[in-house]
Each structure stands twice: as C-alpha cells, then as structure tokens.
C-alpha cells in the first residue's frame, strides 16, 4: 500500500511539473509575441496618424498665478492649443475659429490665419516638417478677472520632434500667450509672442480682416522668394566647400561656446544682467557663449564688444557694456566694422556653411533676433540641409533654423579673434 501511495504521489508530482512546463512555454510564446509587436517599428506616417488620434497634447500644468484655474478657462486654452498642434502635426490647418466667442470676427480671423501661414510655411520647405511627436506644458503666470471675463497670461512649452530629424527633441520654451476668455468659456482674443501672430499684430494698430489678407499675401510671396534663395544656397554648398581668405590671430573654441549656451539656455548666468523683460536676452546669451568660447572682450576704439557691467559705456575702459554685446543689429555692425583687435568673423555667409558655434540672426522687419548654431542637420547624402539653434526670449532648444517663419535669415561665421 505504501508503494502504491508513493507511486501515486510521484505521478501527481510529475503531472504537476509537466503542466508547469506547458504553462511556462505558453507564457514565453505569448510574451515573445507581445514583445515583437511592441518592438515593431512604426513608419513615420503611422506615427503621425497615431499622434493625430490623441484627444489632447497637454502634458502638464503649473500655476504661479495665486488663483485657482477654472475648468472652463483651462478647456478654452487647451481646445485652441490642441487644434494648433493637430494643424502642425500633419500640416493641415484645423479650424481654430470655433473656440472663439465670435467665430466670424476679427480676432478669430487673426488666429486662423496665423496658424494657416505657419502651416503653409512648414509645408513649403524642402525638409519634411510634419511632427511625429508632440506635447505641451502650461504655466499660468497671471490671472485677472473682470465683469466680462478673464485675462490669462500663460507660458507654453512646446515639445516636438520633426519627421526629418526623428532623433531630435526640439523645444520652444515659455512662449508667452495672453488669452481673454468670456464668462461662457469662449476665447475673445489671443496674443502670442511668436511667429505670424507678431508679424500681424506688430503691423496693425487695429485688427482688420482686409489688412490681414494683404499681409498674408505679402508673407506668402516672401516665403516663396526665400525658398528659391535657400535652394540655390543649398546647391552652391553642395558643390563647393566654404573658403575664406580671412586670417585671425587667435582660435575660437566652438565646443566650449556651445556647451556654455546649453548650460545657460533655460537659466540665467548671475554674473550678467538678464534682458528678457527689456528687449530680450537673445544677443546677450550669444555674446556670453562666444566669450566662453575664448573670444576676448574688446574695449578699444569706435567699435567695441564688452560686458563689465549693465550700463552702456563707450569709453576705452573696462567699464559697463557696449551696445553690440546685447543688440542684434549692433553686433552685426561691430563684426562688419571692427578692423583691429576683437572678433574675427565672416559676415552673412551661405547658411549651409554654418557650424556649431556660429551666430544666426533672423527677423521679418530687419534682423531682430539672435541665435547660436548648436548642430548641423544632414540629409541622406551627408549634406547640410538645416541647422539646429538655441536662443533666449523666446527660448528655443535644438530648434530648426529653417522652421523660423521670418524671411530674413543670416549666418555670421565666427573664425577667431585678433589681438
């Protein structure tokens, strides 16, 4: 009897063990199957379609306004931004007018055309500027309630990945948006300190549909002209290497300049005055980066490039600052006009000859914004097809130079310095 019981128990154990092995094998097969599906690489078009299916691109919200943010306010803002992001993902303009209190009014018309122009600009480029990743963060900075509604100042961080640079996370940081929202939770007006919003509002004392139409027509014409010039410049750079007969006494350390720029892109170096609220900090950060790259300050002669303090000073002393340190146009004039000691550079070169550490200037009415080139973007043939830039006010990180809608773009190649 004992032997039978032992055999019976042994058979039971064997059966359990076999069942365990079977279940383990089935589990492994299912896991591997799931893992393979997970690792299956989506095509870019599939990524775009998946992205378009998202209901919202909101990532997170922070509030520094000391006021509770009502749900209808948040919804009004996110409804607009989600339509804007959907427009940029596959470059098909969504109707943002439906989130306004008067969909046929001037304010809705302004918003619609500002988005539509940016879509047209990106769609026109020779690089595929559709998005395969996108989300945004909101920082509520000020809320002012009135009897008619609420005025909300909110900073938006845009986090995107363009199709033609799939390994790059591009950021637009603290883009200033001012929403006026009525008591029904609809947008009455919107102002954005960026791109075509500024290019419209800066040119009009009163928002006018006819004036928007005229400006839009002009901007589309300028887009086309710029694109033709860019195609020619790209072809020239493809066929010929950059050459210059300019010689310099001292070398420029591009890597140190770029490293400094990344370090102080989203925070400010306390050793320098920040000019974000008084004209912008863009050229100031660029000048700091060049100095970190080994370019000595120049405090002698008519053309000077220096920072020893916040106040303007044109004397041949180590006091104050010169206008070229903080002013975009002044910096360009310095580079062109300086013939003695100081920065040694080649102004206004073919942008496709740029290298990390070179300076870029952009604008639609002259050149009003400075950036630092931080990386080159190359096509499948190994040729430069775009640049990635960093800037302050609005801060951009690893952002495509050609994504700027401003038609004026130039590169100043920094070669070194003279003693």
Is residue 330 within 8 A of residue 312, CB to CB? The reply is: no
Q: Helices 44-52 and 71-90 meet at what angle, rounded to 10?
A: 160
What mean pLDDT comes out for the span 33-51?
74
Of 21-30, 295-304, 323-332, minimum mean pLDDT range: 21-30
Q: Tell me if the bond preceding 394 is cis, omega within 30° of 0.
A: yes
Q: What integer is the mean pLDDT of 63-86?
A: 97
Over residues 387-412, the mean pLDDT reads 96
The mean-pLDDT minimum among 38-52, 126-140, 312-326, 374-388 falls in: 38-52
d(CA 319, CA 375): 34
pLDDT of 17 reads 57
Confidence of residue 37 (pLDDT cuts 50, 70, 90): very low
- Average pLDDT over the chain, rounded to whole? 92
Distance, in Å, from the CA atom of 44 to the CA atom of 161, rounded to the nearest integer, reads 11
- What pLDDT is stored for residue 292 in this prediction? 98
Do 118 and 196 meet the contact criterion of CB atoms below 8 Å apart? yes
CA pair distance 189, 198, nearest whole angstrom? 14
| Alpha carbons 254 and 256: distance in angstroms, whole number | 6
Mean pLDDT across 330-350: 95
**Overall average pLDDT of the 217-238 stretch:** 97
Give the pLDDT confidence of 177-191 residue by residue, as tens digits: 999 999 999 999 999
The 3-state secondary structure of the chain, one letter per residue: CHHHHHHHHHHHHHHHHHHHHHHHHHHHHHHHHHHHHHHCCCCHHHHHHHHHCCCCCEEEEEECCCCCCCHHHHHHHHHHHHHHHHHHHHCCCCCHHHHECCCCCHHHHHHHHHHHHHHHHHHHCCCCCCEEEEEEEEEEEEEEEECCEEEEEEEEEEEEEECCCCCCCEEEEEEEEEEEEECCCCEEEEEECCHHHHHHHCCCCCCCHHHHHHHHHHHHHHHHHHHHHHHHHHHHHHHCCCCCCCCCCECCCHHHHHHHHHHCCCCCCCCCCCCCCCCCCHHHHHHHHHHHCCCCCECCCCCCECECCCCECCCCCCCCECHHHHCHHHHHHHHHHCCCCEEEEEEEECHHHCCCCCEEEEECCCCCEEEEEEEEEECCCCCEEEEEEEECCCEEEEEEHHHCCCCEEEEEEEEEEEC
For CA atoms 351, 360, 397, 198, the dihedral sign is negative
Amino acid 79: pLDDT: 98
pLDDT of residue 131: 98
Q: For the segment 340-349, what is each residue's pLDDT rounded down to a tens digit?
A: 899 999 998 9
The predicted structure's pLDDT at residue 19:
62
Do residues 278 and 321 lie in contact, with contact meaning Cβ atoms separated by under 8 Å? no
Average pLDDT over residues 380-398: 95
pLDDT digits (tens, 9 = 90+) for 99-125: 999 999 999 999 999 999 999 999 999
pLDDT > 70: percent of the chain: 90
Identify the pLDDT of residue 11: 57
What band does 39 get if pLDDT is binned at 50, 70 and 90? very low
Dihedral of alpha carbons 8, 10, 13, 14, sign: negative
Angle formed by the axes of helices 106-124 and 209-239, nearest 10°: 10
pLDDT computed for residue 362 by the predictor: 97
Give the span between the Cα atoms of 42 and 35, in whole angstroms.
Answer: 14
Cα–Cα dist 152/192, whole Å: 12
């Amino acid at each position: 009897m004992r032997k039978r019981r032992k055999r019976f128990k042994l058979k039971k154990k064997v059966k359990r063990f076999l069942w365990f092995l079977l279940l383990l094998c089935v589990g492994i097969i299912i896991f591997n199957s799931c893992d393979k599906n997970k690792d299956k690489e989506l095509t870019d078009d599939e990524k775009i379609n998946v992205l378009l299916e998202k209901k919202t691109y909101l990532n997170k919200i922070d509030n520094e306004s000391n006021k509770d943010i009502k749900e209808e306010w948040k919804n009004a803002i996110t409804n607009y931004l989600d339509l804007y992001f959907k427009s940029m993902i596959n470059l098909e303009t969504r109707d943002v007018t439906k989130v306004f209190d008067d969909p046929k009014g001037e304010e809705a018309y302004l918003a619609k055309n500002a988005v539509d122009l940016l879509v047209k600009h990106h769609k026109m480029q020779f690089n595929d500027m559709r998005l395969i990743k996108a989300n945004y963060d909101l920082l509520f900075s000020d809320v002012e309630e009135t009897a008619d509604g609420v005025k909300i100042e909110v900073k938006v961080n845009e986090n995107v990945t363009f199709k033609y640079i799939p390994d790059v996370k591009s950021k637009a940081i603290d883009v200033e948006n001012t929403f006026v929202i009525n008591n029904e939770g609809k947008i009455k007006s919107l102002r954005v300190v960026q791109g075509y919003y500024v290019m419209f509002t800066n040119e009009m004392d009163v928002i006018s549909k006819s004036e928007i139409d005229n400006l839009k027509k002009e901007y589309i014409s300028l887009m086309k002209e710029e694109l033709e010039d860019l195609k020619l410049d790209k072809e020239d750079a493809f066929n010929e290497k950059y050459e210059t007969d300019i010689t310099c006494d001292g070398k420029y350390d591009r890597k140190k300049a770029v490293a400094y720029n990344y370090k102080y892109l989203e925070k400010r170096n306390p050793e320098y005055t920040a000019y974000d609220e008084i004209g912008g900090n863009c050229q100031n950060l660029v000048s700091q980066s060049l100095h970190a790259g080994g370019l000595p300050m120049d405090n002698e002669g008519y053309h000077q490039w220096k920072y020893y303090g916040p106040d303007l000073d044109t004397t041949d002393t180590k006091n104050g600052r010169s206008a070229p340190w903080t002013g975009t146009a002044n910096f360009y004039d310095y580079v062109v006009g300086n013939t003695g000691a100081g920065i040694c550079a080649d102004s206004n070169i073919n942008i496709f000859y740029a290298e990390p550490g070179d300076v870029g200037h952009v604008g639609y009415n002259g050149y009003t914004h400075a950036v630092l080139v931080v990386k080159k973007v190359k096509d499948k043939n190994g040729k430069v097809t775009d640049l990635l830039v960093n800037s302050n006010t609005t801060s951009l990180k690893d952002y495509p130079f050609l994504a700027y809608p401003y038609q004026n773009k130039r590169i100043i190649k920094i070669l070194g310095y003279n003693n």
